[in-house]
Amino acid sequence: MMAANGEKHKISCAIDHIIEAEMKGEISEENVLYIVENINVAAIETTLWSMEWAIAELVNHPQVQHKIRNEITSVLKGNPITESNLQELPYLQATLKETLRLHTPIPLLVPHMNLQEAKLGGFTIPKESKVVVNAWWLANNPKWWKNPQEFRPERFLEEECSTEAVAGGKVDFRYVPFGVGRRSCPGIILALPILGVVIGKLVSNFEMTTPPGMEKIDVSGKEGQFSLHIANHSTVVFDPILA
């Protein structure tokens, strides 16, 4: 109940800011509808895609499931997972980060436009250019990441332990699945808590495996204009964990 109340409080704050901006004339009624609609898409659809990626990777990496389960047991000591205690579970957080790094749901982020001519990296960007950031490549460039094709949550607890862009703080521009700054994805206020609580509860209560006769879940992606989601849905077996 506490987590649910927290979610409602965050949503109301976001809507308050939108209404205030409309009253000041900063955005129009049409923009308000567009923004609210896109918060829904950003928070719900991409969260579902990320949840599916996470489950698939956990099935293919049972040792990661075991580490998350052991962490939850040792840290929470039988208490339920809530939004308020997610930050006490660093390995679960690292698993979510690794899922978003390897399978960035919006690989090119949302296009932006520069209002004035700008210089960047020796290049001139003309006024009113459409600017697209390839967040997936930033997070998967082998020059910047060790074995980027490998699903390994430990990287965020070891060599990449300073990467905090998901939760704020000092920004590592190699890893920006929600963008950065004042125009970062508003869906972050819902996506991360939902992902953490759902994946944590699933791992706590079930051993997730492939059906008999199947070795691995297919984690190949299907690319849209700006989206990346799993190409082929798979069947997953949920074996209850007896207390």
Q: Nearest-CA neighbor of 9 among 182, 161, 193?
A: 193
From residue 9, alpha-carbon distances to 12, 13, 14, 123, 231 in Å are: 5, 6, 9, 43, 35
Cα 220 to Cα 53, 163, 195, 205, 238: the distances in Å are 10, 26, 20, 27, 22
Question: Nearest 5 degrees, angle CA 232-CA 234-CA 240?
Answer: 155
The phi-psi region of residue 78 (left if phi > 0; otherwise alpha if psi is between -120 and 50; otherwise beta) is left
13 is in an annotated binding site: no
Q: What residue type is assigned to position 241 of the chain?
A: I
Q: Which amino acid is at 232?
A: N
Compute CA distances 69 → 58, 65, 77, 108, 235, whole Å: 12, 6, 11, 33, 22
Residue at 189: amino acid letter = I
Strand partners, 207: 239
Annotated binding site: 185
Annotated binding site for heme: 185
